[in-house]
Amino acid sequence: MYTADIRQPLVTGGKTYSDVTKDVCRPIENKPTPSWWLGFSIAVVLLLVLAGTLAWTVWEGIGTWNVNKSVMWGWDITNFVFWVGIGHAGTLISAILLLFRQKWRMAINRSAEAMTIFAVFCAAIFPLFHMGRVWLGYWPLPLPNAFGSLWVNFNSPLLWDVFAISTYLSVSLVFWYLGLIPDIATVRDRATTKARKFWYGFFAMGWNGSAKSWGRYEVVALILAGISTPLVLSVHTIVSMDFATSVIPGWHTTIFPPYFVAGAIFSGFGMVLTLLLIARHVMNYQDYITTEHLEAMTKVILLTGSIVGLAYITEFVIAAYSGYEYEQYAFANRMFGPYAWAYWTMMFCNLVAPQVFWSKWARTTPWFIFIISIIVNIGMWFERFVIIVTSLHRDFLPSSWVMYHATWVEVGIFLGTFGLFFTCFFMFAKFLPVINMAEVKTIIKDKE
């Protein structure tokens, strides 16, 4: 295949195959570094906050949250959509970029997929506990029951969401595990301790890298990528339908599915960048996650950020054009009402801030990308907050108008999910190969 001379190598530093193995296995085979312990401890503290606030919610009841009959969805569903959205970049990187044969995905797909799984864990907490009686959390499942054979309602987008999220989580797990098998085998064959030999041997399932297995493996990976691509689009489409199929002004919009999918990719890439910039620095993976990778990801951020920005403006124009008073009011209230600060934060973080990536300097300077990635994360949280809370807090009946502010319990749960997310991620970085060794070895001589 022809590659232009200006293309940069995908892996720098003249690495050999065994260098890749050694570099990637280093954290697994050695004691954790002090920075790992520091990060892990902070994450565990936050995880305890999660456990505490959730326990309090269950003990005392859902009244510990400030959601009420006007704003029945508050921080909980905001956080749910926020975390699900973050999860999407993992599938996007490993599935859609595989179908498009983008080789730069190979150094980052493993950690992005891990991020997907942990983010979906975090997301699942919110609707589950929002039910109030979490021990009845199995009710949305289509199970035979003693309530006069009253089944779940298949006309409801909330039920579609149950199917979508659980399918997404399980398929992502399978995809991730399948990708891990050859690398787990590599760790197994280098293992020096009995425990490592046993556990990695157990999970490697006897993998020996025969040409026949690889042939099948590649076909399976391709098909999984092929079905994960519509899956990831469907999941966020269905999440957007939780809103779009309602009759609430501000939610009742046909633009929601593509707009939510673009937003999910946007926020997911923001989070991937945040994580990878830290991992790359702490674990010394600059030769694998090069500035070329960062540049490619910032380009995706620029594109999806602009799509999201376009969607904000389109929504507004359509509301103004609709001639429908309530829709017009919902949008005017977003921009100039009591939550205007949230709206303009969202506009700045998602539409304005990513535009700096038109500059090559901005796309290739890690510390600067890190700042923008944090801004993107904040902006995308505010997007969900704006959509949910500003649409609800002033509905058709002015007597029901309220202001909604989160309680310490809601804030604690949100911070706590970061604890869960990062605890999982630190464990992953310690016990599993963060970079897909087998795939990176195939591109060691390739250019971007």
Shortest Å distance, C-beta 424 to other proteins: 22
Bridge partners of 9, per DSSP, are 447
Q: Which is nearer to other proteins, 40 or 175 (CB)?
A: 175
Q: Which is nearer to other proteins, 21 or 377 (CB)?
A: 21
Shortest Å distance, C-beta 2 to other proteins: 16
Shortest Å distance, C-beta 46 to other proteins: 32
Long-range contacts at 238-242 (CB < 8 A, ≥ 24 apart):
238/157, 238/160, 238/161, 238/164, 239/81, 239/84, 239/161, 239/164, 241/157, 241/160, 242/77, 242/157, 242/158, 242/161
Shortest Å distance, C-beta 293 to other proteins: 19
First to last CA, the chain: 12
Q: How far is CA 40 from CA 47, 210, 417, 429, in A?
A: 10, 38, 14, 11
Query: What 3 state SS string does 48-91 have?
Result: HHHHHHHHHHHHHCHHHCCCCCCCCCCHHHHHHHHHHHHHHHHH
Shortest Å distance, C-beta 427 to other proteins: 20
Give which of 299, 280, 295, 292 is closest to 447, Cα–Cα.
292
Q: Scan for tokens 């301790």, then name that residue.
A: 193
Q: Which is nearer to other proteins, 124 or 374 (CB)?
A: 124
Shortest Å distance, C-beta 3 to other proteins: 15
Q: Which is nearer to other proteins, 2 or 367 (CB)?
A: 2
Q: Are 204 and 181 in contact (CB under 8 A)?
A: yes
Tokens of 403: 């202001």
Q: Which is nearer to other proteins, 196 or 299 (CB)?
A: 196
Give which of 257, 223, 226, 268 is closest to 87, Cα–Cα.
268
Shortest Å distance, C-beta 171 to other proteins: 4
In the 8-state DSSP scheme, what is residue 151?
-
Q: Which is nearer to other proteins, 132 or 206 (CB)?
A: 206
Q: Which is nearer to other proteins, 88 or 394 (CB)?
A: 88
Give which of 155, 361, 377 is closest to 266, Cα–Cα.
377
Distance CA 120, CA 123 (A): 5
Q: Which is nearer to other proteins, 202 or 336 (CB)?
A: 202
Which residue type occupies 445? K
Which sign, positive or negative, has the C-alpha torsion 140, 146, 150, 151?
positive
Shortest Å distance, C-beta 90 to other proteins: 15
